[in-house]
């Protein structure tokens, strides 16, 4: 006898066979029903939900897949919510951008047609554009919302749909939950208004590129230094994505004259043919760019992900080797440069601040304290950084912020992580360091000597499908019920439970409230300053373990010894937690 769940899945699939779906979709659903029970279950056992990055999933047929119908229902739900929230406006406006992924243009045009059919004015990019430019465009045109079709750095079989609000930031509570509630009210695709009139759709392109890149240029803190070091060699790759036009454009505007391309990766292609994964967090994604840097003697390598909101870096060392930097190291260099130059140029007036996420290196907070600049800690997801900027608008000035997953931002005219802007400012930091006879790695080492050697690591455990999701939740439950008393020989002194919104001082038994939205995150802090954070990913079938450790670094001569000590400490923590 069939179990209840499989019966429900088959009923859902049958609705697609009986419904007003196109013939190709019906053919694929029929094939799943007849030949692939496991894939059928994964495709229909639930509906895609907004996570920390919106709607994201594998492309294909089914309620749990990215296709024109799930995109359509999400868009109709968003339309209904916008029309309720902004009913006082004569015209509601949205902006739409999309990346180089397979079906991205199709999904973007499908969404544009639905907005139009709901009498909402649409600004649709003529071709692929970066996610941060979408955020900028929402603000530029005074839109009430916007979407970008992208799965960021996920593998090629994925696509996604990020929804934005009128401030240019991704939707945050309560809007995200309310939009999902509206989507859930739609019982079938017959309630989706497809194919609205073209007159409601305005195509945008080069004119926005110019305004956006001009705004980035104004963030420059050392134009004289760039002028003196304009020949610094920079290898840049868009990894087949949307940075292909705007990163070289903004670097040229800033004054850099020696941009070296990786021609094979300048080709926009949703199959990402030259990389296993277009994720700059994975070292292999930068292999071709690093090879090019070795051939050309470049000092700096930058690689952006498909929607150009994240950037990976590699830098030349004193021994002429090239080393990858992780997201925490890149954030450290960028934020230190911004703090230092804001101070040197007299821009620190006592009303400035930076923002980081709770799983990002504590070194950023340490540096901010040294410059007498407040540092806000927010949940993982750049939308929470955007929320802080919105709350402080007109009262304080945002210098910059970032997260360990290779996303950074400066200035207030974009409200999402911005790899176009980050490339410009990191290149400027490299020129500034060179002007003082330093490489970027030298600068990082100086920071470690001044503030302490912080080392971070991330361990992701993948658990796919429905069974995987249940296993991940079981792991979180176990850590909550049986928290470790000691990790790597150091007693656990603090437990932060962001789901229960409580911090526990373990030794004294004192509890304090956490003033953050609820999130399925646990953090253990030990007496020696180690920090372990555990959270299921909101966008991928993974549970993530973040490790942060620190030691004093007295001089460069001790660098390798202290680094090994920190690496060993992280390995011991992993073994201790039986991961």
Active-site residues, by number, are 152
Query: Contact, 242 vs 267, CB < 8 A?
Result: no
CA–CA distance, 125 with 118 (Å, rounded to integer): 19
CA–CA distance, 71 with 248 (Å, rounded to integer): 32
CA distances from 303 to 56, 219, 240, 243, 535 (A): 23, 21, 10, 9, 26
CA–CA distance, 436 with 225 (Å, rounded to integer): 10
Q: How many helices (H) and strands (E) does the chain have?
A: 18, 23
Name the maximum alpha-carbon separation found in the chain. Answer: 77
> For 117-151, b where at least 16 C-beta lie within 10 A, e where not — what string?
bbebbbbbbeebbbbbbbbbbbbbbebbbbbbbbb
Q: What is the DSSP letter of 353?
A: E
Query: Contact, 286 vs 300, CB < 8 A?
Result: no
Query: Contact, 538 vs 469, CB < 8 A?
Result: no
Residue indicated by tokens 């900028």: 136
Residue 365 contacts by C-beta under 8 Å, 6 or more apart in sequence? 356, 375, 377
CA–CA distance, 504 with 497 (Å, rounded to integer): 8
CA distances from 262 to 238, 240, 277, 560 (A): 9, 10, 16, 32
Query: Contact, 293 vs 235, CB < 8 A?
Result: yes
User: Rounded to a whole number, what is the distance in angstroms from the first to the last CA of the chain?
Assistant: 38
């Amino acid at each position: 006898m069939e179990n209840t769940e499989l019966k429900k899945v088959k009923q859902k699939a049958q609705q697609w066979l009986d419904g007003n779906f196109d013939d190709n979709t019906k053919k694929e659903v029929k094939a799943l029903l007849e030949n692939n029970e496991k894939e059928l279950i994964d495709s229909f056992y639930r509906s895609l939900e907004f996570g920390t990055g919106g709607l994201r999933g594998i492309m294909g047929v089914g309620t749990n897949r990215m296709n024109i119908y799930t995109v359509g229902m999400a868009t109709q739900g968003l339309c209904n919510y916008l029309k309720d929230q902004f009913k006082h406006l004569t015209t509601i406006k949205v902006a739409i951008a999309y990346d180089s992924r397979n079906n991205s243009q199709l999904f973007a045009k499908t969404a544009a047609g639905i907005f139009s059919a709901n009498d909402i004015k649409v600004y649709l990019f003529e071709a692929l554009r970066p996610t941060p430019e979408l955020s900028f465009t929402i603000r530029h045109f005074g839109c009430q919302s916007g979407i970008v079709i992208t799965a960021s750095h996920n593998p090629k079989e994925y696509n996604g749909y990020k929804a934005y609000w009128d401030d240019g930031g991704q939707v945050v509570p309560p809007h995200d939950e309310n939009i999902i509630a509206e989507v859930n009210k739609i019982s079938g695709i017959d309630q989706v208004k497809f194919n609205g009139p073209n007159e409601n759709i305005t195509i945008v392109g080069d004119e926005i590129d110019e305004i956006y890149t001009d705004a980035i240029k104004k963030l420059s803190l050392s134009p004289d230094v760039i002028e003196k070091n304009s020949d610094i060699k920079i290898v840049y790759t868009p990894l087949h994505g949307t940075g292909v036009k705007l990163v070289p454009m903004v670097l040229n505007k800033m004054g850099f004259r020696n941009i070296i391309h990786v021609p094979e990766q300048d080709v926009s292609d949703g199959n990402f043919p030259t990389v296993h994964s277009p994720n700059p967090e994975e070292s292999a994604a930068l292999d071709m760019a690093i090879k090019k840097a070795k051939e050309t003697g470049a000092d700096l390598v930058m690689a952006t992900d498909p929607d150009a909101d994240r950037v990976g870096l590699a830098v030349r060392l004193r021994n002429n080797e090239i080393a990858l930097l992780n997201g925490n190291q890149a954030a450290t260099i960028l934020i230190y440069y911004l703090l230092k130059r804001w101070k040197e140029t007299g821009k620190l007036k006592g009303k400035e601040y930076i923002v980081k996420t709770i799983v990002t290196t504590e070194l950023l907070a340490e540096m901010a304290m040294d410059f007498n600049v407040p540092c806000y800690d927010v949940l993982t997801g750049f939308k929470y950084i955007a929320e802080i900027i919105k709350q402080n608008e007109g009262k304080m000035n945002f210098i910059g912020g970032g997260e360990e997953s290779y996303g950074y931002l400066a200035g207030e005219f974009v409200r999402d992580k911005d790899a176009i802007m980050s490339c410009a400012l990191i290149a400027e930091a490299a020129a500034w360091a060179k002007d003082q006879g330093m490489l970027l790695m030298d600068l990082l080492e100086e920071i470690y000597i001044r503030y302490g050697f912080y080392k971070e690591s991330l361990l992701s455990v993948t658990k796919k499908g429905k069974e995987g999701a249940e296993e991940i939740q079981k792991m979180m439950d176990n850590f909550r019920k049986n928290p470790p008393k000691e990790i790597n020989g150091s007693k656990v002194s603090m437990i932060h439970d962001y789901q229960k919104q409580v911090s526990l001082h373990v030794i004294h038994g004192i509890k304090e409230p956490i003033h953050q939205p609820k999130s399925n995150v646990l953090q253990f802090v030990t007496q020696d300053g180690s920090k372990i954070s555990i959270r299921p990913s909101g966008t991928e079938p993974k549970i993530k373990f973040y490790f942060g450790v620190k030691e004093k670094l007295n001089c460069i001569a001790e660098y390798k010894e202290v680094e090994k000590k920190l690496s060993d400490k992280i390995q011991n923590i992993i073994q201790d937690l039986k991961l």
